[in-house]
Amino acid sequence: MHQGKNNKTLNGRDISYNLPLNRRTIDHGLFTPQTERNHVHGACKASGVHVHKWDSTTYPKGFHMQAHNGGGGGGGGGGGSDLVGGSVTYTMIDQKELDRIYDHVLKLTIESGKVIREAIERSNKKIETKAGDWDLVTEYDKKVEKILIDNLAKEFPKHKFIGEETVSTTKCLPELTDAPTWIIDPIDGTTNFVHSFPFTCISIALSVNKELQLGIVYNPALEQLFTAKKGHGAFLNGKPIKCSNIKDLEHSLLCLETSFAIIEDIRDIVLGRLEAFVTIAHGIRTMGSAALSLCYVAMGAIEGYHSDNLMPWDVAAGVLIIQEAGGTVIDTNGGELKIIAPKVVAVGNAKLGNDLVKLIKHADSKTHLRRSMLKAAT
């Protein structure tokens, strides 16, 4: 990952800062950071994969078939494990098996999308809250996740899962190990879904040896299917996509999630960053779905996306799709992104990423200074 530099100027302006960037302060109420986790150490190195293999399944409107010279097939349980000397060693997932896994999950994702498409216009959705009024779940989130996990677990019984609604139930975020692991958000943008706003999607990624190998983000309401295989590009409905090559903030359309300002403890941080973005960017958008926002960076529709208050299932698929579209995803501090605890700056190029990191740090320094002044005055 590209490392951001700690410069103190931005486009000739003095934006010196000396206060630390605020760490994620939000308590999602989903898991305890100190929870004991099962560590399964593996020795798995996935081989390279090649271009997409499509079959005659009904795909979204505008979806184009692509030629493919690879084969599928093979038995179930891809990425199986064998006990060796009391430890678990994961077998290599070869090219054919990755292709077979991809074909299977692609069809499953599209099939599961029918549940969302048929339900999004309904006004009688059953809604529950999780961490707060801003964190919603419907019966359809649970239904779609169950369809995905039950089917994948049957087809690949030795794979692991990190799913939003499963974690919400168990209140424990599993360790991301070397094992083949599915990272699933059954409905990203649940609030949008509740309001019948068609910016919602299924997000599903496969990690092997802690590296993202497959990513699919599917918005069934708008029939947008974003896909990526590691090393072989990103696609929207079968057509290649690329990130924008705009490198300056003044000409960039930026997206950030302002809804987290509802949380009092971080409201000033979120609004401080919004103010900084508004004063310099060409335009600002907030869309309510991290996965789709990342994909819009990948397709070049927006130049950058930022949010700290995310979870692995919000970003895993979108991160791979951006990377395969030629973009960069880094931590808000400018370092390497941690998928298991993501604080995201996603951009089309490294220069824009560095500038956004500096802008965020400058905004946070001003916010911390205001906090200090208010505290001193009381």
pLDDT tens string 224-240: 999 999 999 999 999 99
Same domain, 144 and 187: yes
Point out the residues that are catalytic.
Answer: 164, 185, 187-188, 190, 314
pLDDT given at position 68: 31
For residue 83, being part of any structural domain is answered with no
Residue ranges of the chain whose pLDDT lies below 50: 1-59, 62-89
Ligand-binding site membership of 185 (annotated): yes
In the DSSP assignment, the letter for residue 179 is S
Rounded to whole angstroms, the Cα distance separating 287 from 189 reads 9
Same domain flag for 182 and 256: no
Q: Provide the domain count of the chain.
A: 2
Select from 240, 267, 294 the last residue of a domain: 240
pLDDT score for 25: 30
With CA atoms as reference, report the closest residue to 78 among 149, 207, 180, 161: 180
Whether 150 has a binding-site annotation, put simply, is: no
DSSP H helical segments within the chain, as ranges? Answer: 95-119, 139-155, 164-170, 190-194, 267-280, 290-298, 312-324, 350-377
| Structure confidence at residue 64 (pLDDT) | 41
pLDDT of residue 114: 95
| Residue 266 belongs to some domain of the structure | yes
Whether residue 246 is annotated as binding a ligand: the answer is no
The per-residue b/e assignment along 166-201, b for 16 or more CB within 10 angstroms, e otherwise, is bbbeeeebbbbbbbbbbbbbbbbbbbbbbeeebbbb
Whether 170 and 216 map to the same domain: the answer is: yes
Question: In terms of domains, do 185 and 112 share one?
Answer: yes
Note whether 223 and 256 are same-domain residues. Answer: no
Distances 49 to 53, 70, 72, 157, 291 between C-alpha atoms, Å: 11, 9, 12, 22, 23
- 56's tokens: 């005659």
**At which of 182, 211, 240 does a domain end?**
240
Q: In terms of domains, do 113 and 194 share one?
A: yes
Do 268 and 298 reside in the same domain of the chain?
A: yes
- Was 314 annotated as part of a binding site? yes
Is the residue at 155 inside a domain? yes
| CATH number of the CATH domain containing 373 | 3.40.190.80
What digits encode the pLDDT tens for the residues 130-189? Answer: 655 555 678 888 899 999 999 999 999 999 999 877 776 666 787 899 999 999 999 999
Last residue of a domain, one of 177, 211, 240: 240
Whether residue 172 is contained in a domain is answered as: yes
Answer yes or no: is 320 within a domain. yes
Q: Measure CA of the first residue to CA of the last residue in the chain; give whole Å.
A: 43
The pairing of strands 201-208 and 181-188 is antiparallel
Q: Do 309 and 346 reside in the same domain of the chain?
A: yes
14 labelled binding-site residue: no
Predicted local confidence at residue 340, as pLDDT: 92
- pTM listed for this prediction: 0.76
Dihedral angle computed from the Cα positions of residues 319, 322, 327 and 332, in that order, rounded to the nearest 10 degrees: -30
334 within a domain of the structure (yes/no): yes
Do 310 and 224 fall within a single domain?
no
Per the domain annotation, does 35 fall within a domain? no
Domain limits for position 229: 95-240
The answer on 307 and 208 residing in a single domain is no
Asked whether residue 2 is assigned to any structural domain, the reply reads no
Selection from 313, 20, 58, 328 nearest residue 165 by Cα: 313
Query: Do both 233 and 276 map to the same domain?
Result: no
Q: What CATH number does residue 207 fall under?
A: 3.30.540.10
What's the rounded Cα separation, in Å, for the pair 243 and 320? Answer: 13
* Separation between Cα atoms, residue 169 and residue 187, nearest integer Å: 16
| Domain identity same for 269 and 373 | yes
Residue 40 in tokens = 């399964």
